[in-house]
Amino acid sequence: MKPEPSLSRAPGFWQTVGLLLSASRRRSVGRRQRQQQLLQFRTGSSTNTLGALGTLMFWAGMAFVNGSAAYVVHLVILQGQRIEAEQQGKIVVSDFFIDAVRDVEKAESQTDKERAHHDLEWAYSWEARDRSRDFGGSKEKNEELLLKAVQTRGSSGFIGSTASQPGIGHPATTRPFTSMLATIVLFGWLIMLIFQGEGLELDIQRRRNPNWEWLFSHPVRPGAVFLAEMLSPIAANPIYGTGPLFFGILYGSAYGPELGFVAAILIGVPVSVAAACVGKALEIAIMLRFPPHSRGALIGLMSWLGYTTMFLFFVAIVVTPIIVDASANLLRPLATAIPWPWFSWTIGLQSDGSLSFISGMLFCWVASIVMTASGVGVAIWGAQRGLAGSSAGSKVTSSTKIISTIPLLRNDPLYRKEILWFLRDRGAIVQTILIPVTVAGFQLFNLRVFLQSVQDSWRAVSGAAVVFGTYLLWILGPRSLASEGPSLWLAQTWPRGLEELMKAKARLWFLIATTLVLSVLALVIVRFPGDTWRVLLIAVGWIAFGRSMAEKSVTLVSMSSSSGEPEPIPKGRRYAASLGMLTFAIGILGQRWELAVVGIVYSWLTAAAMWENFRARLPFLFDPWSEKVPPPPTLMHAMIAISVLVEGGAVVTGICLALFSYLGDAAIAVSQALAFGAVATIVSLVSSSMLADRGVPAKKVWCWKTENAPVDSRRWWWSGDGQRDGYFLASLGIGVLSGLLFALLAKVYLLLLSQFGTFSEMIRSAQKQMESVPGLWVSYAVIAIVFAPIAEEYLFRGLLFRALDREWGGWRALVGSAAFFAIYHPPLAWLPVFLVGLTTAFVFKKTGRLAAAVVVHMVYNAVVVLL
Amino acid sequence: MITEGSTSDTHSIASPPALVEVDQVTKSFGEKVALKDISFSVPAGQLCGLLGPNGAGKTTLFRLLMGILKATQGTLLIDRLDAFDQRVEVKRLVGFLPDEPVFYSYLSGWEILELSAAMHGLGVKPTMDRIYPLISRLRLVDDMHNYAEDYSRGMKKKLGLLLSMLHEPKLLILDEPTNGLDVESTHLFYDLMLEESHRGTTVLFSTHLLDQVTKLCSHAVIINGGKLVARGSLNDLRSTFNESDSLEEIFLKLTSKPQQK
């Protein structure tokens, strides 16, 4: 029937897709504009350079992942070809080795023979080392193997690597074993791309897109709507944007760089798009077909798969040769049983060994179209039972029996609710256990150097448990509001502040993680009773660290917008939350207690800093327009200033070392002292002026109490309360006395240390350095006595301790700031430095003047240096 | 156009001090001004209706009262406590029913009630005993064992009302309470609101249904486009305008917008 001319025509398939995609693009533009508006409103600047840097690094990381995948394909092909060559009974060695063997055989004169033998000796050792690195086994065993082969078969027993491992573009790739390995890796890459979804931020409470009902009330084809929905992750997740790199590298190594570049665009893009479509289609189908309680679990499993394959590629870069070698015998029958032509087809490798770009491209296009179409088909299949899916009312599982047995859970209603959620949402278990296991496993792989040096397996196991617990908290923390979701309104009707709720959740996550970690540690003690006290130390370390980790990660929560989209966590905040994790993990795994302590102190201070900012943010979760940053100087400011000091000091030390290298050994101590002295002064001056710009005059930092005092700029700003109250000189006197007292203690400490052989050596060599160059020693003394105390007291006491006292208060603030001060010095000096830090903070607080604290520090340094 | 009827009304009768005092409250989100210079007060024990066209700012006003948002200017006092700075104490006195209540995914109706009771610091068992007659009156008893997220819209509203009354608050803030309820439940809600008011609870609710206001309320506050348009007792409103006009006609006159081209 001809449509009436006045009736509008429903948009066609591609028109619909185009409309929805442009709407999606406008949405993200709108979101970015809104964020900029908020930023402008709150801080006065509309650029977020740190955020941009974070995004850049993320893209770089994803590009690296895709590149690594291509590299793994390359590795796997080389290994496959090597094994196929060795099937013929020859050992694959480097060309260098074969040439050396052949030289021995060809040598005629005596001198030539001797030289050839000499070269061969070298060749043995190099080759054996390479073999043991790539394939395992000890160097000696490999040498024996090579020796025997040379003696029995001479050079014909070997085949050079270039001859046997021609690489991708060679017909050798079509042999079954190689082909199978390459296909497996190719599928692995596809799986990684398919299951990545919108990114690694997993959303536990997956709700159906509420817009679908509205969209489907229009006369549009469901396939078009789903296709547009499928194409949306591509913009969100840079792994799709960098996906073409995989194809670029593969084709580049087969056909040369120009064609590789063409391939990246012509082939890589359609395949990446198709993979994104398939992944989203699976997700859509799951949302439509499965009841809500299983949805989260399935989608969580999918995301976890995408996550894990990504990590596996990193791991594979290192372990591929070993794994292929070890499993060759198992896998070979599989290679011949089923055909594995996929990789050859993808790259256009014909069975006769020639390469055809066109056929590779055509195959990939066909594959992409098939994948996309089947994705759309799967989504439509999912919608066939209607948008409501087949969920309907599910029966309430009675998990109350478990809960009533644990008294803690029975009595605290909040814990009860969280545990009920945990038990009933199958997705929660998947995501909160599987992800940390994977991430922790990956981290342990990264730290395998430390694991290798660990002789006892109990250390490895306890270390692994601690790392796992850390990552569990890192994942759980930001989920603290996710279990509330839009039901947060109910929590806001209770007479309990949100802060109390968040702290309760932090405690709960910590309890859960600690239960897991301590049970593992208990098992370790049972198995290795001799090392009980060491394991107990690790347990103590975990409890100290884990609590701070829980507090930190809880501050990462963000509210979802009213349409249900979760707000992304700013990368800077995530980074801050992870400060101390690596140091602590290395400390525990490598049994370097001083590193563990550094990690713990750093983590706690970061937790305090993040909570200070979080507390200012929390009442405005729903009202970001009213949010104001906490007034400077905050803990975060202090920690940033100190970090700049440390990093800057390290850089300047390096420069000084280069400049003063003619001094020899003395250069190190001198450069360090000069560098840190100079940088500390600069940093404190800059901080002071920056704070003054933001309305914090110097007096506020140098005096403890200025709230009640009238601000009179003509007053001498060193006087505590802004008034000459006659106590000024007395406070300075107190400073001098305390300084002398602690300097005495420090001398006693040094005397004690010098009784121990190693320490006395160090002290004596340090003293010799000092005496070798008198001129520089004077400047060192000046810096240590005059500049460093002022700067250090300004940063560590004026900024850090003040802010910490506001946050923690009491003895905790004293100990915390002193500990933070101590960890910036070598471990031997920790005790005296810690005591000095305690003293200066105490003096500052009690006399109300930072000047007094400076005097303490000056006197202490003077006595230690001069006497 | 503000009618000053309310102030003379409250002063002429010896009435208890106002439970809710909103004083020159302005709320803006960036450049968008949601509420401008709103002032009114609600005496204790009153049933007061908050009227306004869509987008007038009723929900924003409720969120300000609940301490979810912070007023850009002005103060809101509930029983002389600041609504934002002392919001934790305020919660003991206030029960809130949002427009579209959403509940936790994995808890049954009973479990949500018990959780809320415990979080208010009430003993679970006595509270459940006390609230049981109300549950049966609302005909929810059979459904309380099921997951709350599977409830129909009306059932969710009823559960929300139960939650708001759990701790016997002095002030009930209800955002469009009968929106989406069937006729029987709507009348039930009316009865409950009147009973609460007779018991001395102050009830402040927003609605579009003006006959509801005529039936239930003694006072009304009308806002339009973020500005206060009228406040006072219904009698005063009628006396200011044409006596024979129904509340609906008065409302339309007060909130008419210029014709859009």
- State the Cα–Cα distance between residues B23 and B40, nearest whole angstrom: 7
Q: Which structural domain, as residue segments, surrounds residue A663?
A: 635-866
Cα gap A49→A59, rounded to integer Å:
15
Residue A519 inside a domain? The answer is: yes
Q: What confidence tier does B170 reach under pLDDT thresholds 50, 70, 90? A: very high
Which two tokens mark A164? 């046997």
* A484 with B103: Cβ contact below 8 A: no
Q: Is the pLDDT of residue A846 over 60?
A: yes
Q: Are residues A777 and A654 in the same domain?
A: yes
Q: Domain boundaries in chain B?
A: 5-99+170-255
**Which residues, in sequence order, are CB contacts of A756 under 8 Å at separation 6+?**
none
**Mean pLDDT, range A725-731, rounded to an integer:** 65
Instruction: Look at A349 and B67; give whichever has higher pLDDT.
Output: B67
Within-domain flag for A2 = no
Q: How confident is the model at residue B6 (pLDDT cuts 50, 70, 90)?
A: very low
Q: Residue A39 falls within a domain, yes or no?
A: no
Residue where a domain terminates, one of A626, A654, A673: A626
pLDDT band (50, 70, 90) for residue A744: confident
Is the predicted pLDDT of residue A139 greater than 50, yes or no?
yes
- On whether both A156 and A250 belong to a single domain, the answer is no
Per DSSP, helices labelled H in A88-175 are 95-106, 110-135, 139-153, 161-164
Two structure tokens written together for A856: 């303490």
- Considering CB atoms only, which of A393, A420, A496 is closest to B146? A393
Task: Return d(Cα A183, Cα A514) in angstroms, integer.
Answer: 43
Q: Does residue A715 sit in the same domain as residue A839? A: yes
Section A645-659 average pLDDT: 77
State the average pLDDT for chain A: 77
Residues A607 and A648 in one domain: no
Is the Cβ pair B163, A490 closer than 8 Å?
yes
CB neighbours of residue A408 within 10 Å? 12
**Out of A524-538, A560-574, B245-259, least confident range:** A560-574
Report the C-alpha gap between B80 and B93 in whole angstroms.
Answer: 11
Report yes or no: A709 and A697 within 8 Å, Cβ to Cβ.
no
Residue A293 with chain B: CB contacts under 8 Å: 106
Q: Which of residues 201-230 of B touch A (CB under 8 A)?
A: none
Higher pLDDT, A253 or A452: A253
B113 touches chain A (CB under 8 A): no
Residue A812: CB partners within 8 Å, gap ≥ 6?
A: none
Place of tokens 């040369």: A256
For chain A, the domain total comes to: 4
Percentage of residues of chain A with pLDDT beyond 70: 78
Angle, alpha carbons A396-A401-A402 (nearest 5°):
105
One domain for residues A555 and A685: no
Condensed to tens digits (0 to 9), the pLDDT of residues A425-464 reads 766 666 677 777 777 777 777 777 666 665 566 777 787 8
A724 and A601 housed in the same domain: no
Cross-chain Cβ contact B112/A490 below 8 Å: yes
Q: Is B67 on the interface with A (CB under 8 A)?
A: yes
Q: What is the mean pLDDT of residues A376-403?
A: 66
pLDDT tens-digit series, residues B61-116: 998 998 888 898 999 999 989 998 888 889 889 999 988 888 887 788 898 898 88
Please check whether residue B250 is in contact with residue B21, taking contact to mean a CB–CB distance below 8 angstroms.
no
**Consecutive H or E run containing A138:** none
- Each residue's pLDDT tens digit, B191-220: 999 999 999 899 999 988 888 888 888 888
pLDDT confidence of residue A210: 56
How is residue A731 written in tokens? 């406070």
Encode chain B in three state secondary structure.
CCCCHHHHHHHHCCCCCEEEEEEEEEEEECCEEEEEEEEEEEECCCEEEEECCCCCCHHHHHHHHCCCCCCCEEEEEECCEECCCCHHHHHHHEEEECCCCCCCCCCEHHHHHHHHHHHCCCCHHHHHHHHHHHHHHCCCHHHHHCEHHHCCHHHHHHHHHHHHHCCCCCEEEEECCCCCCCHHHHHHHHHHHHHHHHCCCEEEEEECCHHHHHHHCCEEEEEECCEEEEEEEHHHHHHHCCCCCCHHHHHHHHHCCCCCC
State the pLDDT confidence band at A666, using cuts at 50, 70 and 90: low
Cβ distance of B70 and A489 shorter than 8 Å: no
pLDDT at B258 over 60: no
* Residues of chain A neighbouring B121 (CB-CB closer than 8 A): 495
Same domain, A150 and A231: no
pLDDT in tens, A499-554: 888 888 888 888 888 988 898 888 888 877 877 888 888 888 899 898 888 888 88
Q: What are phi and psi of A69, to 5 degrees?
A: -60, -45
Q: Confidence band (pLDDT; 50, 70, 90) for A3?
A: low
A309 and A254 together in one domain: yes
Q: Report the pLDDT value the prediction gives residue A206, as an integer from 0 to 100.
A: 46
Q: Judge residue A731's burial from the number of C-beta atoms within 10 Å of its C-beta, 0-12 exposed, 13-18 middle, 19 or more buried.
A: buried
Name the band, by pLDDT with cuts 50, 70 and 90, for residue A407.
low
Q: Quick check: is A663 in a domain? A: yes
Same domain, A129 and A189: no
In a domain, A103, yes or no: yes
Any idea what DSSP says for residue A431?
A: I
Q: How close is the nearest chain B Cα to the Cα of A337, in Å?
A: 49
- The DSSP element (H or E) to which A406 belongs, if any, is none
* Half-sphere exposure of residue B100: CA atoms within 13 angstroms, side-chain side: 2
3-state secondary structure of A703: strand
CA distance B213 to chain A (A): 26
- The model's pLDDT over A110-122, given as tens digits with 9 standing for 90+, comes to 888 888 888 888 8
Domain boundary among A146, A164, A182: A164
Best to test chain A binding among B104, B159, B161 (most A CBs inside 10 Å): B104
Distance, CA of A84 to CA of A57 (rounded, Å): 40
Q: A665 and A573 in one domain? A: no
Q: How far apart are CA A849 and CA A703, in angstroms?
A: 5
Average the pLDDT over B229-242 and give the result.
81
Share above pLDDT 90 across residues of chain A, in percent, rounded to a whole number: 3
Q: Range with the lowest mean pLDDT among A276-280, A400-404, A632-636, B183-187?
A: A400-404
Q: Which of A115, A132, A164 is the last residue of a domain?
A: A164
| Poorest-pLDDT segment among A82-96, A154-168, A228-242, B190-204 | A154-168
pLDDT in tens, A62-88: 888 899 898 888 888 888 888 877 777
> Quick check: B69 and A626 CB within 8 A?
yes
Distance between B183 CA and the closest CA of chain A, angstroms: 25
Inter-residue contact A175 to A84 (CB < 8 Å)? yes
Q: Look at residue A286 in the predicted model and tell me its pLDDT.
A: 82
A229 and A252 share one domain: yes
CB A607, CB A551: distance < 8 Å: yes
Which architecture, in CATH terms, is B5-99+170-255?
A: 3-Layer(aba) Sandwich (3.40)
Judged by a CB distance cut-off of 8 A, whether residue B94 touches chain A is yes
What residue type is A809 in one-letter code? G
Q: Is residue B10 very low, low, confident or very high in pLDDT (cuts 50, 70, 90)?
A: very low
Say which range, A133-147, A194-208, A817-831, B109-123, has the weakest mean pLDDT.
Answer: A194-208
Q: Which two tokens stand for residue A271?
A: 């395949």
Q: What is the DSSP string of A541-573?
A: HHHHHHHHHHHHHHTT--PBPTTSPBPPPPHHH
pLDDT score, position B163: 92
Q: Residue B133: is its pLDDT beyond 90?
A: yes
The pLDDT of residue A7: 55
DSSP state of A137: S
Q: Are residues A336 and A446 in the same domain?
A: no
Contact A420 B111 (CB under 8 A): yes
Question: What's the mean pLDDT in A359-382?
Answer: 88
Query: How much is the pLDDT for B12?
Result: 46
The minimal CB distance from B120 to the residues A205, A293, A495 is found for A495
Question: What is the number of other CB atoms lying within 10 angstroms of the CB of residue A7?
Answer: 7
A774 touches chain B (CB under 8 A): no
